[in-house]
Amino acid sequence: MRKWTKFLASAGLVLALAGSALTLAAVEDEIRQRIKPEGNVSIAGQSAEEAQAAQAPADRSGNEVYASACSACHDSGAAGAPKLGNSGDWAARFEQDTETLYNHAINGFNAMPAKGGCSGCSDQEVKNAVDYIIAETE
């Protein structure tokens, strides 16, 4: 009898958790529905893609991204990070093609996390920062 009681209690807990997960998903869907934009602004003769691109925020420059996200490690050399402007630190990395550098910066490599920890950075902004580092170091 005791085994059945534990089994039924466990089954009840599983059902309760599943029910709350479904409720949570429904609430999230309702929130998304309530906060979605009511419409889009478009200019005559402009496609929907062009209008969306015009309303999107511009990517930050490499200098801006470097200053806000990369400098914490690449100015001091924290965790073995190559220092900005020190061509000796970067020599082996610069032997690789730029696409490899972009890939490592975006997806992380060794001790560096993806996007250098800048989760709010777009891939293009990370590429801008890599380009900035290259220009400042070569």
Beta bridge partners of 21: none
pLDDT in tens, 90-111: 999 999 999 999 999 999 999 8
- In the chain, where are the structural domains located? 2-55, 62-137
What Cα–Cα distance (Å) separates residue 102 from each residue in 16, 82, 132?
46, 15, 12
pLDDT tier at 56, thresholds 50, 70, 90:
low
Q: What is the mean pLDDT of residues 76-103?
A: 93
**pTM (whole model) above 0.75:** no
Could you please state the CATH topology (level 3) that the domain comprising 62-137 is classified under. Cytochrome Bc1 Complex; Chain D, domain 2 (1.10.760)
Per-residue model confidence (pLDDT) at position 4: 65
Return the pLDDT at 101.
Answer: 94
Mean pLDDT calculated for residue range 41-59: 72
